[in-house]
Structure 1
Amino acid sequence: MTADEPDAALPGLARAASRRSGAAARARRAKQAAPVEIAEVGPVARVLVDLPLAHLDRTFDYAVPASMADQVRPGVRVKVRFAGQDVDGYVVERAAASDHDGQLAPLRRLVSAEPVLTPAVAELCRRIAERYAGVSADVRRLAVPPRHATTEKEPSPPAAPLGTVQLRDELWDAYPAAPAFWRRLRTGGSPRAVWAAAPGEDWPLLLAHLAAVTLAGGRGTVICVPDHRDVARVDAALRELLGPDQHVTLQAEAGPGPRYRDFLQVSRGARKIVVGTRSAAFAPVHDLGLVVVWDDGDDLHAEPRAPYPHTREVLLERAEIEGCAALVGGFSRSVEAEQLLRTGWAKEIAAPRETIRDRALVAVAGAARLRDPFAGAGRVPTEAHDAVRWGLERGPVLVQTPRAGYVLRLACDRCRTPARCSACAGPLELTGATTPPRCRWCATASPDWACAECGGRGLRAPVVGDARTADELGRAFAPVPVVTSSGDRVRATVDAERRIVVATPGAEPVAEEGYAVVVLLDAWLLLARDSMRAAEEALRRWSNAVALLRPGGRALAVGGDPATPALQALVRWDQAGFAGREADERREARLPPATRVATIRGEPGALDDALTLLALPEHGDVLGPLAPLPGSGDEEERAVVRVPRAEGAALSAALGELQRLRSARKLDPVRVQVDPLEI
């Protein structure tokens, strides 16, 4: 044998391999073309196909093979052939016949016999997609977690015996209207309410009480809260009241296996109480009796993925579908919650004024008294120092500051010109007490900075963060410990020992026995945000901080005009009145929620096509298109579509039809967002 004989054999081997491959392909095609025996009973399966195309957002009929007849039922996952490829889908119905005239393609494969999409949740996904002009496949991805095959094979243990539960109805004694609500829950009713929680309230325990009352009547509960720290608090309250193994928590942080395990416990009926964040609103709870959304004004309730639904709207839609009770609660009140009361959809649960006065005292240090002339460059004014000193004699003190970091912006101490980097003209900042100024954009250090306007070398700090505030308080109240909570270093709780806690809004830890004093620094900064919801959001953040006071505690807001409506509402603890005034002003200005609004974003040509195809309702109007702000780097234009609230359904329908036309014609993409938090 010569050295090149093996090479000479390669073409023959290649031809043989090609013949075998071709034979295998022909065998597969023959198998696929062979007639499949179809089920005799319910031979047609209506399938929702997981495709992100608006013009294909409907059910398609497929034949049910006899081999799958016993396992294919509503809610199971299947594989189907669609447009020449295998795609995922959910069976929503078995039928005796199809409207399709031709021969139906059979289901390719039963992915799982586990019914994970209940009829009620499937209908909820359809309605939410319709309301937000989206595709139901995108909503189903929010509702049903990815399959975890190993977990699915495990049985779900039944709930532990409930035993005797002390329902502790006295928890609601501060709210005269509350007994009527939970008594109707106990007897199987479906009341709807907006709850204005009083400062210092242990709201997780009160929500756990409502879940226990609902469970005692044989029904389930879904409780949605903004973040994982709130989930942990409600979880602990439910364990305290009902014991272990009576509820589950649904949140992405749990990981795919544990999350799917908890989901299956709910879908199989082993648990009837669910606590979680946004996606928990779709939990397939059996015999649902109550849905709750806590702090609905928090922007964490707004889904950042298409079609951008809001937890509050999902739960209210679900209450309509399943005929269950609904509760919207919080220390502050959103304008949307106020709208529920004005339309009569819900009733109010609130504490009387004397109860609120006994729980917290709130004062404001106005702008005129913001700085002590003898305090020099001090960050914290005298009024705040006095309040902190008074509080430390009694327990921990919370100081809320709007910004994280050390010194976020610098300016010339002589002429107030903003300090800029010599390399890229970015803003200068300080990251610590001994570090030189550096650029926030390119990180270039500027130890020899000089003002380009006046030549001055002194720097002042118009905006500082929590780290600088903690530094100053640590020096002023040594040796009292000072801890911070912000960014990626958020504390969940602190003990009852005397300490100063400096936190950014939303990152305030819960004190074991409540704070003796809460100081709200730089109130003007939250009010100065360029947003329609700036005042509403500022009041919500302040209210949540003040609510952490212990009974008889004090709060001080520093750095704002005492006559500002939001600060006045905080002092009087009149968030309901503030929400009412906001609602009136927005109605006059034709802003949400008095109107229904949608934004359409896209490149200029795509946006122009979309506006041309959009069939506006009778009283609708278009604001824009608006060009992107100079220097923003954004190439998209934006248009705002506005209609009266009564035509909101018509607007959603028109936008949905627009999406279907664009999808069918393969036009350039645009992003449609109905009822966005910011316009």
Structure 2
Amino acid sequence: MPAEPDGLPSGAIASETAPGGEPGYARVVVDSRLPQLDRLFEYRVPPGMTGVEPGVRVRVPLRGDRMTAGWVVETADARAWEGEVADVEKVVSPVPVLQPEVWALARAVADRAAGGAADVLRVAIPGRQARVEKQWLARERSPLPALPALAESEAVLPRLVEDRRRVAIECAGGVAEVVDLSDAIDSGATNRTAWVGRWAIALAAIARQAVERGEQAIMVVPDHRDQRQLRIALSAAIGSERVVELDARQKNPERYRGFLRCIDGDPVAIIGPRSAVYAPAANLGLLAIWEDGDPLLSEPLAPWVHARDAALVRQSQSGCALVLAGHARSSDAERLVELGFLEHERLGAHRVRVLPSALTDDSRRVPAVAFRAAKEALATQPVLVQVARPGHAPGLRCGDCGVRARCTSCAGPLGRSARGAVPSCRLCGRLAAAWRCQSCHGTTLTEVGRGSTRIAEELGRAFPGVPVMVADGEHERLTVDAKPRLVVATRGAEPIADGGYGAVLLLDGDALLSREGLRVAEEAVRQWATARALAADGATVVLTGAGGTTVTAITGDTTVPFAKAELAERRSLRFPPAVRTASVVGHPDAVAEAIEVLGVLEHLDVLGPVPAPADVVKGSREGELERAIARFAYADGARVAGIARGRVLAAAARPRKPGAPPRLRIRLDDPEPFDGL
């Protein structure tokens, strides 16, 4: 059986092997989701086996003849366990994919989140591609080309990286044209320029500071749209040869090739979505996150660590410069500014005119002021229309009794993707061709609300002769040219227009703000600021159906006062990010035991328990589980995480039926319970 070494460090990769000799023992973290296996196991390296080094993938026995994958964390000549020790079964690959800094980060992040290190490593390390590995092992290293020339006027926040500053940057909007040296344009194209957000150019200039010092930069973005802009800007600033992308949208060999390039240690900029925060970078000079308030940066897999939290841990370990940047300041970043951990900076200026417009008639989609702004801009430029929902009709009701039409399979809301389309579930996608009302048995459906395609049809009639384009989840468009046209886009799907939009209409403000959730107003401001940033200098931005502090945040030059007010309100209510939380879900007795143990902390308070939603844990049934929310100070985070992990381990040791939900699940910093506030 494998043995757990007693009292050995688990936060660093090390080799205690004499130079020139093969180690006698290896300490391995196994690739398992079971919480009771979240520790280092010691194995003997059998005589004649070579290549057992820190960081490599191995196969090891776990129970009897059962083999499992793992990564070597430490090697040593002497054993630390006095009992029986099993042998390493196989070295899967000689490539040290688990780098020391990544293991230290994974262990610390998992401990902070009361989770398992292997779960973090599964996100951090892509699957092996044998052919790519062979090419990498046989490669001949050659020096990278010189950096492109950079005018002194193009420098942004000089010495930020050298001085290891930690900064929250509020970036002004606007777009700019840059030389495109990336692969974004086919090699046969004659137009070698592209339009990107000015934010991307600013972050690329900061990343260049790290590369000039021979260091690496990690740049984390919410999605592939932002990644494309940053790739183009970085290619212009440091050359495409120094840009490495890590993205789940890449083909597996391409992603793995990029991952191995990170291990090389060359001074490059590494860009990608949330998982890029774990990229190998032994000589890290800069870690930057764009739009840290975007929900896409929250990891959906256990232990559910937000990229911002992982970045804060990594910065504390490496001492690198840290940047949290966005068009709108998140309440989380504002908390760090008010603590003095981050400095405040504002970059650039964006001259636009923002006009709020209240909706006096719900049936009127485009108020007169918005109509005039669009008409004037369409004489020479494209116009962006941001809407809240995709499809034709986002909701349907029974035409007889008015009850909301729902899916008979999952109870999700029904909608129509296009005029005359068969109703379908917006959650599971199941068609409802033979729908019948569960209340009155009627078969007539009435459309509720207007989605992107329906609004596009209406605008086409309002502006005859003007081309109308839809950009949403089903109609992806990254860019549009400068020709006059109407671009109807859902939130987050707005394409960049060459030269910027002549007008931006932010419709459905009332729909955005009427949703339930702790961060509804903050998220609305972020999404409006993102759309406003796509406007050309001097353009008009019209916001409809909103009021109060959200309008002030968008019409002003800065969103910082709004973030301050949001944080102050959360602090008075003891809601995140003013405090941390632990969502405790499980069988009533397990929840009660966990809350009792957590209750020893002086400043911890508990909300609940209450019946947990049926879908909160896979395999659970309505009324089977309970949920309680513990709120605690950041200073108590390590103690709460330790107690939580202990209770999960105790619950996991008890038997349960196959397919049954776990007796206890504790998730730290869980945003879901606050979505309905």
For the residues of structure 1 that align with 2:345 and 2:434, how far apart are their CA atoms?
55
Contact 1:595-1:643 within 8 A present in 2 as well = yes
| Long gaps (5+) in structure 2 | 1-19, 175-196, 657-661
For the residues of structure 2 that align with 1:630 and 1:73, how far apart are their CA atoms?
46
More displaced 10-residue stretch of structure 1: 422-431 or 125-134 = 422-431
Q: 1:673 aligns with which of 662, 667, 671?
A: 667
Partner of 2:71: helix, strand, or coil?
strand
| Deviation, structure 1 residue 431 | 5.1
Contact 2:407-2:432 within 8 A present in 1 as well = no
For the residues of structure 2 that align with 1:349 and 1:426, how far apart are their CA atoms?
44
For the residues of structure 2 that align with 1:432 and 1:445, how far apart are their CA atoms?
18
| Deviation, structure 1 residue 118 | 0.9
For the residues of structure 1 that align with 2:119 and 2:412, how far apart are their CA atoms?
40
For the residues of structure 2 that align with 1:581 and 1:251, how far apart are their CA atoms?
36
For the residues of structure 1 that align with 2:340 and 2:672, how far apart are their CA atoms?
26
Superposed CA offset, 1:244-283 (max 9, x none): 3212100111122111111111112256321101111111
**Residue type of the alignment partner of 1:513:** G
For the residues of structure 1 that align with 2:96 and 2:637, how far apart are their CA atoms?
34
| Deviation, structure 1 residue 666 | 4.3
| Deviation, structure 1 residue 67 | 2.0
Q: Does 1:654 align with 2:643?
A: yes
Quote the residue 1:339 is aligned against: 335
Map 1:409-420; keep pairs closer than 5 Å. 409=395, 417=402
**Residue type of the alignment partner of 1:496:** A
Contact 1:247-1:271 within 8 A present in 2 as well = no
Map 1:178-577; keep pairs closer than 5 Å. 179=157, 182-185=158-161, 188-200=162-174, 201-270=197-266, 272-351=268-347, 355-356=349-350, 359-368=351-360, 370=361, 378-409=364-395, 417=402, 432-433=418-419, 443-444=432-433, 463-561=449-547, 564-577=548-561
Q: Does 1:76 align with 2:56?
A: yes
| Deviation, structure 1 residue 331 | 0.3
Contact 1:614-1:658 within 8 A present in 2 as well = no
For the residues of structure 2 that align with 1:394 and 1:245, how far apart are their CA atoms?
38
Q: 2:94 aligns with which of 113, 134, 139?
A: 113
Instruction: Label 1:48 to 1:630 Cα distance change in 2 as closer, same or farther (>3 A).
Output: closer
Q: 1:645 aligns with which of 607, 626, 634?
A: 634
Quote the residue 2:180 is aligned against: none
Contact 2:160-2:321 within 8 A present in 1 as well = no
Contact 2:173-2:198 within 8 A present in 1 as well = no
Superposed CA offset, 1:499-549 (max 9, x none): 100001001011111111100111011111110000000100100000101
Superposed CA offset, 1:282-336 (max 9, x none): 1102311000110111111011111101111111111111111110000011111
More displaced 10-residue stretch of structure 1: 44-53 or 592-601 = 44-53
- Work out which of the two has the higher radius of gyration on C-alpha atoms and give 1 or 2: 1
Contact 1:45-1:95 within 8 A present in 2 as well = yes
Q: 1:600 aligns with which of 573, 580, 584?
A: 584
For the residues of structure 2 that align with 1:254 and 1:293, how far apart are their CA atoms?
20
More displaced 10-residue stretch of structure 1: 641-650 or 96-105 = 96-105
For the residues of structure 2 that align with 1:652 and 1:344, how far apart are their CA atoms?
25
Contact 1:139-1:307 within 8 A present in 2 as well = yes
Percent sequence identity over aligned pairs: 37
Q: TM-score, normalised by structure 1?
A: 0.84
Contact 2:218-2:286 within 8 A present in 1 as well = yes
For the residues of structure 2 that align with 1:268 and 1:422, how far apart are their CA atoms?
51
For the residues of structure 2 that align with 1:433 and 1:670, how far apart are their CA atoms?
46
Instruction: Label 1:211 to 1:431 Cα distance change in 2 as closer, same or farther (>3 A).
Output: closer
More displaced 10-residue stretch of structure 1: 57-66 or 430-439 = 430-439
Superposed CA offset, 1:69-101 (max 9, x none): 5x2221111122222122222111222323312
Superposed CA offset, 1:325-380 (max 9, x none): 1100000111110011111111111148xx44xx2111100134x56xxxxx5432
Contact 2:396-2:445 within 8 A present in 1 as well = no
| Deviation, structure 1 residue 610 | 4.2
Q: 2:108 aligns with which of 107, 127, 132?
A: 127
For the residues of structure 2 that align with 1:307 and 1:586, how far apart are their CA atoms?
24
| Long gaps (5+) in structure 1 | 1-38, 173-177, 372-376
For the residues of structure 2 that align with 1:396 and 1:403, how far apart are their CA atoms?
21
| Deviation, structure 1 residue 554 | 1.3
Contact 1:438-1:445 within 8 A present in 2 as well = no
Contact 1:43-1:96 within 8 A present in 2 as well = yes
Contact 1:158-1:270 within 8 A present in 2 as well = no
